[in-house]
Chain A
């Protein structure tokens, strides 16, 4: 009886100790928290970039990937040190409202319109994204919308406007807002034989394609710019200003820019570094 009880006590002590240890150990490493978009994580870009940055500076980068809207919100609440997203207008607003210090352009990739091989809207091979969107709406072909306030969602809404479609009025059962990330939207489109707007990086990395393929690409209006912002330490004093700024400087400096350009999947370059392009 006595030994059994002391065994039990020892066991509980051991578990408590090991978990306490496990939780203090990582706290000693130098780290920053970056809120970013699902596309940068799902495409594998961070897995490629972060080890190089860590090797140089010793700073661990903890990435929380969310839609652009949510990622900016995480920054607004002060739960991240750096925000790395793709929705220029929202980024500028974020800085203007005093939540961020300064927005720096980093890189771009492009959006592609994905659709089923059967191509019910008859738009495959077109270079005119506005005409393609118009055709989808006119034929009420199934279309999956992210519906999650992400950067891709914002781009999609903008393209409806460009196409002259008032989507709030025009949407019917063909327009399916799923409120989830890019990967989930592609899975859903595969299951429903629907069209969907995707960033190219996520698409190239996506494995469950089924009957889906690229139907429209190459239109300049499909351009997708990424920006990076340090969360304002004046607003949130705990923000790791120096380490966060080090990450931003590395990203937009020659090493980070080269590392971004070097990232390829199946020989295909996913992101195009353009930190020095004026007005990006």
Chain B
């Protein structure tokens, strides 16, 4: 019974285009996409660098990054909270309980995934094309742009995995965003709030919309990579 009314709630949410609801969806996408973008800008070069260079302590860093893929969102949230709180080292910025704080926390969550998956992908490509690239004079970090471009489709999957993690988490955004109505309320924090109000159909309805959005984004990425692969031949 609850499940059918949840479908009803999800349907009417989408059909009515309720401005409050659209604002929540918009904020969720904006925060998560910005976090993934930032994580990509930082993580793709770092991951590639880890793959093509050899230095003492590299294995330890690889293990550390792999381990951080499992960083609990609530811990990431707590770290950012303590940093941004008025009583913390970055309190002067006044960023706590704002979308900016949520982007920072989610970037922290996505970054290890991007670095680790990039390193894995580039590692394989590097061992395959090393001699070829070296003969072209591309050694060490100079090979990175070419390798990243060659691995772009596999790397896109890594970014999608990061997107999935960030869009699904509630622990971090709840702590650093504060779930403020109309300002820092996202899909996942709304679901938590409606659950606590006992409105389970609405909570599940929001959950269905979130699942649908994630599917749509993955389908779009898959389609884009298929088309891209055909053109790249």
A63 vs B178: C-alpha distance in the bound complex, in angstroms? 8
Count CB-based A-B contacts (< 8 Å).
79
B-facing mask of A48-92, CB < 8 A → 1, else 0? 000000000000001111000000000001110000000000000
Q: Is the CB of B181 within 8 A of A208?
A: no
Closest chain B residue to A20, Cβ basis? B34
A184 to B196, Cβ gap below 8 A?
Answer: yes
User: Does B58 sit at the interface, judged by CB under 8 A?
Assistant: no
Shortest Cβ gap from A85 to chain B (Å):
15
Count residues on chain B whose CB falls below 8 Å from chain A CBs.
28
- CB-based contact B100/A79 at 8 Å: no
User: Is the beta-carbon distance between B196 and A16 smaller than 8 angstroms?
Assistant: no
Closest Cβ–Cβ distance, residue A198 to chain B (whole Å): 11
A262: shortest Cβ distance to chain B, in Å? 20
Alpha-carbon gap, A183 to B193, bound state (A): 9
Check B34–A208 contact: CB distance below 8 A: no
Q: Mark A18-41, 1 if CB is under 8 A from B, else 0.
A: 110011001000000100001001
Looking at the assembled complex, report how far the CB atom of A202 sits from the nearest CB atom of chain B, in whole angstroms: 8
B30 contact set on A, CB distance < 8 A: 18-19, 22
Task: Known pairs A62-B97, A64-B180, A181-B196; list 15 more (Cβ under 8 Å).
Answer: A16-B37, A19-B103, A23-B98, A33-B178, A62-B184, A64-B179, A77-B87, A78-B85, A78-B87, A79-B85, A184-B196, A187-B195, A187-B196, A207-B198, A238-B86
Residues of chain B whose beta carbon lies under 8 Å from any beta carbon of chain A? 30, 33-34, 37, 85-87, 91, 94, 96-100, 103, 178-181, 183-184, 193, 195-200
Q: Point out residues on A near B: beta carbons under 8 Å.
A: 12, 15-16, 18-19, 22-23, 26, 33, 38, 41-42, 46-47, 62-65, 77-79, 180-184, 186-187, 205-209, 236, 238
